[in-house]
Structure 1
Amino acid sequence: MRIPSVNPLLLLWSLVAAILPAGAQDVLRSSSLAACQANSEFTASLFDVVFTPNNLTASVNMIATSSVEGYVVFDITILAYGYQVLRTTVNPCNSNLPGLCPMTAGKMNNPFNLPVTEEAIRSIPGIAYTFPDLDATVKVYINMTSGDRAGQSIACVEADISNGKTVDLIGVKWATAAIAGLALLSSAVVSGLGYSNAASHIASNTLSLFGYFQALAMLGMSSVPLPPVVQSWTQDFQWSMGIIKVNFIQDIMTWYQRSTGGEASALLDTLHTVSVQVEKRGLSTALEAPVALAKRANIQTFFGSYLVYGIQRVAFRAGIETTNLFLTGLTFFYIFVVITSLAVVLFKIGCELAAKAGMIKGDTFSEFRAGWLTVLKGILYRMVLIGFPQMTILCLWEFTQNDSGGAVTLAVFFFFGMLLTLSYAAYRVIRMARRSVALHRNPAYILFSDPQALNKWGFLYVQFRASAYYFIVPVLVYILVKGMFIALSQHSGTVQAVALIIIEATALIAASVLRPWMDKSTNSFNIAICAMNFVNAIFLFVFTDVFGLPQLVIGVVGVVLWIANAAFALILLLMLIITTGIVLFHNNPDTRYQFMNDDRTSFMKSQTHIGTTSELDALAATARGAGKPALDLEDDESGISHSEKMVPRPGTAGSMPYSVRDSARNSVRSSVRAPIDPSTGLYSTEGHHLRNRPSGSIRAPSPFAASASSSNVSGHHAQNAGPKPQGATG
C-alpha cells in the first residue's frame, strides 16, 4: 500500500492553527502591489483585493497605469512561505473583464469583481484562512497572446496576502504592560514595608523582563526584512518604547510639528489613493527599478506607492505618522514620569492622613514618610534608566530625520540630559564603592549602610552583588551602542544584524562569566534573557538573506522565532506573577530569598523586622552611625573624616565619639556590623544573622565573616553581655 506524502509545512500550520480561534468568515485580502519585473509596463499606486471563497469572487479596486495594448493572459501563482500553493491562468476575455480584453494603454480606475472557480478554491489549503500573519504572496505575470511579442511577459506584479488573523493583539500589549507595571508597584510597596531583600529581587526581575520586552521592540525596529509573524510579534512590545497611538495626542504632535517649522507627513491619510508596502524579503529585488527617496526617507516608487521599513515600518503598523513617532515616544515617557511622581506624592499624603486618622500604625512606611523626597529622586533616576533605551533610539533617529527645529531641540536635550544623568550617577556609585573599599575593605559597607545613598543611587547597583557595583557601566554602554546601531543604520539591515550578533554575544559571555547579579536565581534569570536575545540576533541575520536561503526556510525560521519567544515570555511572566504573589501574601517575604553573600543586609539601616533588646539596638545604632550627623557620601573629604572620626550629636543613644581605628571598641562592634579587623577586611555579621532569622533558617557564615569569626551563638551572647560602651542606653 502506498503511503501518501505529507507536506511538513502544512503539518506545522495545522498544529499551530489547532490552538488558534477561527474567524467568523474566511477571507483573503491584499492591500499593496509591487513590481516584480524590470521595465514592467503595468504598475499600480493603489491595489486592494478582497477574496471570499463563499461567493466565488474576488473584489478588485486598483488605480493602475498600463502601457500594454493587445490581448493578454494572466499567469497567476500563489506562494505560501515559498511553497507554491496554486498556479493557474486567467483569460480576461473569458471572464468578461472590462478594459482588459483587449488591454488598452492608459490609467485604470474601475473596480471590478474577478470570478474564481471552485477548482481553484479547493486547491487552497484551509489552513491559509486561519494561520496568523500568513506569509503568502500572489504573483501575476501578464503575457501577450497577440502581436509581435506573443508569448512574452511584458509585466509582473506581486501582492502580499493576509487572512486577517494576526498575533499583533491588543490583549498581549495590555497584559504584558499591566504585569510589568504591577510588579514594579509591588516591589515599591514591599520595600516600603521594610522587606528590602524581597523588594530588590522583584524589582530586579521586573526590570530585566522589561529590558527583554524592549529588546524585542528593537528587533522590530531593525531595517532587516522581517517575516509577517515576526513583524506582528515584535509590534506587541512597542509600547515599551513609548510607541502608543492616542488620536488626540497625534493631533497635538502634528500641530507641534507645523508650529515649529516642520512639515508633518500625511501618509496614513492617503491610504485610499496610495498603496503602502511593508518591506519583506523579495521587495528589495522587486524594486531594483529606479526609486526616489522622499523627504524623511520614505521610499516612493515612480508609480506612486510607498515602501516603509525599520522604524518607519513600526510607526506605520502602529498607525502613527513617521514625523510624529519621536514626539509620541517622548510624550509617553514624560507622562510615565509625571504619573509616577504624582503617585509617590499622593501616597505620601495618604500615609500621613491614614496615620493621623489611626488607620495605620505610626511606624508603617516610616522610612518612606521620613525620606520620601530622597525616595522620589531615586524613583526618577530609575525612570530615566528604564526610558534610556527608548530615548536613545528615538532621539538618535530624530537627528537623521530633522522633522522640525523643536523636535530636534527636544531630542538633543533629552538624549544628552539622560546620558549625562546616568553617567553622573554611575560615577557617584563607583566613587562611593571605591571609598568603601579603601576605608573598610568592602564595597558593600558604604553602598548599603547609608539609607539616603541607597534610596538615591541604589537603582544602579542593588540588582548586582556588591563586588560587581561597576557592572552598571557595561550595561549603559550596551544600551547606548545597541541603540546607535538601531537608529543610525536604518539603511543597512545587514550591518544592524551583524552588529547585534556581536553585541548580544558579548553581553551573553559577560553575563555567563562574571555572573554579576545578586544571587544564583537572578543570574540564571538574566543569563536566560541574554541567551534568548542572542538567538534572536542570529534569527535576524538569517532574515537578511545573506546566505540565499529558500523562502520556505525563512518562513519556518520566522514561525520558530515567534513560538520560541512567546513560550519564553510566558514562562518569565508566570515566574514573575507567582513569585510576586507569594511575596505579597507571605508573613516575612525576606525569608523566601537567600541573603546575599555580600552581607548587604548587615549594613542596611532598616531594623523594622529585627527583634532585639534595647542594649543591642543601641549597639547597632552606634555601629551604623545613627544619631550622628549624616555622612555626605558625595564628598570625599567628608566621607574620609566621618569614617575616621565620627562626631555624633550630643544626647543621643550613640553619642560617644569613636574611631574606626579604635581597637578598644572593636570587640563590641564586631558582633553588630563593624569590621572585626580592618587589616583583613573581614566583617562579622554571623551574630546578626543568628538572632534575626527564624529557627531552621541559619545559613553558613558569609565569605566576609567565616575566617575571622568562629564563635557560636553562646559566644556571641557572652560577648554582648560584657560592659556597655559609654553613652549606650541599657
Structure 2
Amino acid sequence: MRWSSLRPLAAIASLALLTAPAQAAEQILQSSSLNSCQENSGFSASLFKVVLTPNNNTANVDIVAVSSVEGHVIFDISISAYGYEIIRTPVNPCDAGLAGLCPMTAGKIPLNFNLPVTPEAISQIPSIAYNFPDLDAKVRVFINMTDGSEIGTSVACVEADFSNGKTVDLLGVKWATAIVAGLALVSSAIVSGLGHQNAAAHVASNALSLFGYFQAQAMLGLTGVPLPPVVMAWTQDFQWSMGIIRVSFMQDIFTWYQRATGGTPSTIFDSLTTVSVQVEKRAVEFAEAGMGLAKRSLAMLPTSIVEPMSAVMKRDLLKRSNIQTSSGSYIVYGIQRVAFKAGIESTNLFMTGLVFFCLLVLFTTIAVAGFKGFCEMAVKRKWMPNDRFLEFRNGWLTVLKGIMFRLTLIGFPQMTILCFWEFTQNDSPALTVLAVFFLVGMSVTLGWAAFKVIMIARRSVTMHHNPAYILFSDPQALNKWGFLYVQFRASAYYYIVPVLGYTIVKAMFVSFAQDKGTVQAVAFIILEAAMLISASVLRPWMDKKTNSFNIAICAMNFVNSLFLMIFTESFNQPPLVTGVVGVVLWITNAAFSLILLLMLIVGTVFVFLRDNPDGRYQFMADDRTSFMKSQTHLTTTTELDALAATARGDKSGFKGGLDLDDDAESITSDSLRRQTERLGVPSGSNTYSGGYGSRPRSPADPAMPLFPADGPHSPPRYNDSSSVRSPSPFGHPGTSASFRANNNASPWQRGAGYD
C-alpha cells in the first residue's frame, strides 16, 4: 500500500504543519516500548529502543526480549499511520542474519545491533512522517511458525509506536498561556485599584474564564481514555494550570517526605535504562488479556510470583496501581500518564500540585502586602497623589481576603481532582490527611462564601427589591465576596452554586473512574451539555460580550467531550477516523485558544491605553455602576454621619462597614436578625410606616423592571437628575436628588440599611 492513497489525511496533515515546530536537523523515527497485541503472546520485551536514521539507511536496535517460542519463524510486519496501513511485508530472520531469532529459542534474549534498511524500504516512508508532530504511527509484527505442527500459526504479536521527535508539547506554549492569564488577573486588580470597577470586572471575568478553559483542556489529558499522541501532547501543554510542574529539587523533597511518613515512593524513572514504559494502553484491557500483574510498588517482581488474579482483585488493584507486565515493563494511563510525561513520579503528583497551589497563595499574599507598603511609602514621599489606590490602602486586609477567596476558586478544580485521586492511591498516611484537610477546607470555604452571597442578595431583594443594591454598594462585601458574583449579572448571583457543583462532579469522575474511560467520556458529555444549555438559556454573565465569550468556551468543551467519546472506540470506527479526529481536536483547540488569548490581550491593553477604561464597556443592566460610583461621595459627608448616629440613638458613634459581612457572625441567619433588632427594625416587617425605626426604601422604584438597562423602563440611576421621585424615609416626598443628599449620603445606610 503506497502513501499516495492517503490524500485526505495528507491534506489535514499539511494544514497542521503550519503550527508545527521547526524541522529538526536530522530526520529520525524512534520507538521506546514494545507492546503485546495478542493474548498469550509468546514474545515480549522489558526493554525496547529502536532508532531509524534514513540518512545512513540503518536502524539501531536495543532490546531485552523474553520468548517462549521455539523453532523457525517468519515475521509478518505491518506499518500503519493514523490507523491506515502503509506497508505490509514478510521478513525472514534467517535471511536478515538475526542471531538468536533463527531459529527462535525460549528464554531471555538480549539484542543490541544495527539493522541495515534498504533504500527501497526507506523510500516508501512518506516525508511527512519525519515532520508531522506527535506522529501516530505503529509497526506491528506477527510471529508465525514455519515448521512443526503449527505452520502458519501466529504464536506472538508485538507492536511499537514510532515518533519523529517533533511534538506540540512545547515549553513556549506553557509559558505563553500562563503569562497571559496571570498578567490579565494582575491587570484587573490594578485597574480595580485605580477605581475603574467596570473595566476591571470585565478583564477579570475573561481571564478567569480563559483559565477555566485551560483547566478543562488539562482534564481531557487526565482521563483514562486512550488518546491519540497529538491529543496527549496538546493537553500536556495545559497541565501547569493543575499545578503539575516539575522542579527537580522539589521532587527529591517530596520523595523524602513520602518515605519519612510511611509511604513507598515509586522509582519508575530510575528504571528507564532497564525497562520500558508503555504509555497509554488501558489497564483494563491489559488485565483482561492476562498479560501482567497490577501492583502499587514499582520495584521489579520475579516472574515466579506473578499469579492469576480474580476479577475482584483486578478491579481493586487497577484503581490504585501502575501495571507491570510479566516481562517487567510498565503501563501508565490517565493521571499516571500525565505524571510520567511531565517527568514526575506518580507518587509525587499530589504533593506537586498541592505545593504549587500553596506557593501561589503565599507569593500573592507577599505581593499584596508589599504593594500596600509601597503605596504608603510613595504617598509619604509624594511619589503619587494621596488619593491614588485610596480604597485599597484603607481596606487592604479585606481586599487580601477577597484575593485569597479568588485563588481558592481558581485552584478548586486542581485540588479536588488531586485530593480525590490521592484517596485512591494512599501514597502515605500524611498525604491522605493533607488531601482530606485541603478538600474539606476549600469546599467549606467556597460553600460558606456562596451562602453569604445568597443571603446578602436575598436581603437586598427584600429590602430594596434589587439584588445589586447591597451586593455592589458596600465596598467590604464587594471586595471580599465579589469574586463569586461580580462576573455574573446581579439577578444571577446564584450561578456560582451550579458552577461549583459542576466542578466537584467532574473531578470525581476524573479521579475515581480512571480505569473506566467510557464512563468518563459519557459523564463529560452530560456535564458539558448541561453547562452549555444552562449558559445559553440563562446567559448569567454580566453583559452580551461576556456571555458570548463564555458560551463559546462551553460549546468548545462540549465538542471536546464528543471527541473524547470517539477516542474510547465505543463506536468501532476505523482507526483512521480516530487518528483524524485527534488531529482535528488539536487544530481546533489551538485556533480557539489563540483567538481567546488575542481577545484577552487586546482587551487588557486597551484598558490601560484609554483615559476612561470604563467607557469601553456598556453599563451593566443591573445598574451596579451607579451604586459603586456613588461611594466616593457617600463617604465624605461626616456631618450627616453624626446626625444619623444621633437620630438612631447610637452613643458609640458611627460604625462603618456592612454588618452583613461580619466575620464573627455564625453561619445561621440569627446574626442578621440580631443586627436588625439592635437597630430598632422589626425583623419580620416588610411594610413602610414612615416613622423613625422603619426600614429605608431603596431609591430604585420597584415598579420599574431591572432589565434591560437601556430600555424605556430602566431603573433610576443616582447620577441621573431626571430620576423618578421617591418617598423620603421621614414621610415627606421629594426628588431622588434631595433624597440622596439628605439620607443616602451617609455610609451607615450603605447596603443593608440601618446597620
> TM-score, normalising length from structure 2?
0.85
Shift of 1:395: 0.2
Q: Which amino acid aligns with 2:716?
A: A
C-alpha contact (below 8 Å) 1:278/1:308 kept by paired residues: yes
SS at match of 2:324: strand
1:58-113 deviation digits (Å, cap 9, x = unpaired): 10001111222332222211110111112222222222222222222221113011
The correspondence of residues 198-347 of structure 1 with structure 2, limited to 5 A, is 198-280=199-281, 284=285, 288-295=289-296, 296-347=320-371
Q: Which amino acid aligns with 2:109?
A: M
Cα distance in structure 2, aligned partners of 1:76 and 1:727 = 84
C-alpha contact (below 8 Å) 2:281/2:331 kept by paired residues: no
Aligned to 1:13: 13
Cα distance in structure 2, aligned partners of 1:292 and 1:5 = 42
Shift of 1:676: 5.2
SS at match of 1:596: coil
Shift of 1:42: 1.3
Does the alignment pair 1:532 with 2:556? yes
Cα distance in structure 2, aligned partners of 1:605 and 1:491 = 54
What is the root-mean-square deviation in Å for CA atoms of aligned residues? 3.3
From 654, 658, 663, the counterpart of 1:631: 658
Does the alignment pair 1:594 with 2:618? yes
Cα distance in structure 1, aligned partners of 2:744 and 2:129 = 82
SS at match of 1:101: coil
Aligned to 1:703: 714
Q: CA separation of 1:622/1:474 partners in 2, compared to 1, >3 Å: closer, same or farther?
A: farther
1:316-363 deviation digits (Å, cap 9, x = unpaired): 110101100001000000001001111000000010111111101011
Cα distance in structure 2, aligned partners of 1:414 and 1:721 = 52
C-alpha contact (below 8 Å) 1:465/1:518 kept by paired residues: yes
Larger mean CA deviation between 184-193 and 431-440 belongs to: 431-440
Cα distance in structure 2, aligned partners of 1:494 and 1:19 = 31
Cα distance in structure 2, aligned partners of 1:722 and 1:551 = 73
Q: CA separation of 1:196/1:143 partners in 2, compared to 1, >3 Å: closer, same or farther?
A: same
Cα distance in structure 2, aligned partners of 1:66 and 1:681 = 83
Does the alignment pair 1:489 with 2:490? no
1:112-140 deviation digits (Å, cap 9, x = unpaired): 11111111101111000111111111001
Cα distance in structure 2, aligned partners of 1:407 and 1:713 = 60
From 673, 676, 700, the counterpart of 1:640: 676
Cα distance in structure 2, aligned partners of 1:342 and 1:162 = 45
Q: CA separation of 1:552/1:642 partners in 2, compared to 1, >3 Å: closer, same or farther?
A: farther
Cα distance in structure 1, aligned partners of 2:487 and 2:132 = 41
Aligned to 1:520: 544
Cα distance in structure 1, aligned partners of 2:543 and 2:401 = 27
Aligned to 1:127: 128
Cα distance in structure 1, aligned partners of 2:108 and 2:487 = 64
Shift of 1:510: 0.6
1:197-237 deviation digits (Å, cap 9, x = unpaired): 10011001100110000011111101011111111101100
Aligned to 2:729: none
Cα distance in structure 2, aligned partners of 1:202 and 1:721 = 36
Q: Which amino acid aligns with 1:10?
A: A
Larger mean CA deviation between 222-231 and 80-89 belongs to: 80-89
Shift of 1:300: 1.3
Shift of 1:644: 7.2
C-alpha contact (below 8 Å) 2:255/2:348 kept by paired residues: yes
Identity of aligned residues (%): 61
Shift of 1:606: 6.0
Q: Which amino acid aligns with 1:536?
A: N
C-alpha contact (below 8 Å) 1:441/1:681 kept by paired residues: no
SS at match of 1:110: strand
SS at match of 2:140: strand
Aligned to 2:300: none
Shift of 1:661: 4.8
SS at match of 2:95: coil
C-alpha contact (below 8 Å) 2:417/2:508 kept by paired residues: yes
The correspondence of residues 513-592 of structure 1 with structure 2, limited to 5 A, is 513-592=537-616
C-alpha contact (below 8 Å) 1:631/1:639 kept by paired residues: no
Cα distance in structure 2, aligned partners of 1:723 and 1:372 = 28
Aligned to 1:405: 429
Q: Which amino acid aligns with 1:602?
A: S
Does the alignment pair 1:70 with 2:71? yes
Shift of 1:440: 1.0
Cα distance in structure 1, aligned partners of 2:149 and 2:708 = 96
Q: CA separation of 1:30/1:622 partners in 2, compared to 1, >3 Å: closer, same or farther?
A: farther
C-alpha contact (below 8 Å) 1:631/1:642 kept by paired residues: no
Does the alignment pair 1:60 with 2:61? yes
Cα distance in structure 1, aligned partners of 2:286 and 2:270 = 28
Does the alignment pair 1:368 with 2:392? yes
Q: CA separation of 1:709/1:38 partners in 2, compared to 1, >3 Å: closer, same or farther?
A: closer
SS at match of 1:8: helix
1:515-549 deviation digits (Å, cap 9, x = unpaired): 11111111111111111111111110111111100
Q: CA separation of 1:335/1:720 partners in 2, compared to 1, >3 Å: closer, same or farther?
A: closer
Q: Which amino acid aligns with 1:488?
A: F
Cα distance in structure 2, aligned partners of 1:723 and 1:420 = 39
Q: Which amino acid aligns with 1:599?
A: D
Q: CA separation of 1:385/1:721 partners in 2, compared to 1, >3 Å: closer, same or farther?
A: closer
The correspondence of residues 159-170 of structure 1 with structure 2, limited to 5 A, is 159-170=160-171
Shift of 1:702: 6.3
Cα distance in structure 2, aligned partners of 1:681 and 1:524 = 27
Cα distance in structure 2, aligned partners of 1:727 and 1:116 = 87
Cα distance in structure 1, aligned partners of 2:539 and 2:260 = 50
Aligned to 1:422: 446
> TM-score, normalising length from structure 1?
0.88
Shift of 1:618: 7.7
Cα distance in structure 1, aligned partners of 2:473 and 2:677 = 16
Cα distance in structure 1, aligned partners of 2:580 and 2:515 = 26
Shift of 1:554: 0.3
Shift of 1:240: 0.3
Shift of 1:700: 5.2
Q: May I ask how many residue pairs the two structures share in their alignment? A: 690
Aligned to 1:137: 138
Aligned to 2:499: 475
From 382, 386, 389, the counterpart of 2:413: 389
Q: CA separation of 1:372/1:525 partners in 2, compared to 1, >3 Å: closer, same or farther?
A: same
C-alpha contact (below 8 Å) 1:130/1:165 kept by paired residues: yes
Q: Which amino acid aligns with 1:123?
A: Q
Q: CA separation of 1:712/1:97 partners in 2, compared to 1, >3 Å: closer, same or farther?
A: same
1:577-611 deviation digits (Å, cap 9, x = unpaired): 00000001110101111111111122226656x8x
Q: CA separation of 1:722/1:555 partners in 2, compared to 1, >3 Å: closer, same or farther?
A: closer
Q: Which amino acid aligns with 2:714?
A: P
C-alpha contact (below 8 Å) 1:597/1:702 kept by paired residues: no
Q: CA separation of 1:449/1:344 partners in 2, compared to 1, >3 Å: closer, same or farther?
A: same
1:409-467 deviation digits (Å, cap 9, x = unpaired): 00000000000011111111111111111111111111111111111111111111111
1:21-78 deviation digits (Å, cap 9, x = unpaired): 2221110000011111222221111100000001111100011112223322222111
